[in-house]
């Protein structure tokens, strides 16, 4: 039984592996309590950390950026952060982090253990939802291309 066996770090590591296997470049990742991620600053914020976020996974492929939060539980706060990213509030910071890479599209996603019950309303505005199991995964795509 998978319940209780998959924590946030394991979910994050599986998402990274899935993305790498599908040709994504991992720009940064942030494991719990590690402080390894890249800080993105909200445009127009004057204070150093006010309005800043650290995505759990920041990946790049073919002109697209994917920013993903990995969780062992549903977090409305993280969902709101992702929506701010999608609305362009962090575009300047993302652009600085990508340096010379061509960037045309921002995708957002969230990852949970596969046994978590989530409803369509919880992720209706996301591009990807990764449901991670111990030995497998399922990806819910929000676009019609069904590609990762």
Q: Domains in the chain, ordered, with CATH?
A: 8-141 (3.40.1350)
Kindly report the number of other CB atoms within 10 A of residue 142's CB atom: 14
Query: 43 versus 69: which is more confidently predicted?
Result: 69
Q: Which of 71-75, 78-82, 92-96 has the lowest mean pLDDT?
A: 71-75
Strands of the sheet with 137-141, listed across from one edge = 25-29, 57-61, 64-70, 105-113, 128-132, 137-141
Question: Cα–Cα distance between 53 and 38 in angstroms, integer?
Answer: 8
Indicate if the pLDDT at residue 144 is higher than 50.
Answer: no
Indicate if the pLDDT at residue 138 is higher than 80.
Answer: no
* Highest mean pLDDT pick, 23-37, 40-54, 56-70, 90-104: 56-70
Do strands 128-132 and 105-113 pair parallel, antiparallel, or not at all (unpaired)?
parallel
What is the residue-averaged pLDDT of the chain? Answer: 81
Note the pTM of the prediction, 2 decimals.
0.84
């Amino acid at each position: 039984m998978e319940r209780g066996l998959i924590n946030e770090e394991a979910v994050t590591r599986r998402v990274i592996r899935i993305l790498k296997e599908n040709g994504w470049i991992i720009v940064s990742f942030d494991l719990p309590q590690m402080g390894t991620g890249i800080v993105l600053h909200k445009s127009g914020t004057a204070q150093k950390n006010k309005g800043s976020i650290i995505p759990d996974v920041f990946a790049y492929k073919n002109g697209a950026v994917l920013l993903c939060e990995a969780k062992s539980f549903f977090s409305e706060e993280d969902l709101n952060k992702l929506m701010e990213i999608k609305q362009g509030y962090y575009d300047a910071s993302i652009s600085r982090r990508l340096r010379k890479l061509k960037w045309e599209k921002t995708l957002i996603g969230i990852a949970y253990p596969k046994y978590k019950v989530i409803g369509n309303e919880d992720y209706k505005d996301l591009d990807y939802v990764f449901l991670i199991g111990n030995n497998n995964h399922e990806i819910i795509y929000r676009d019609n291309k069904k590609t990762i």
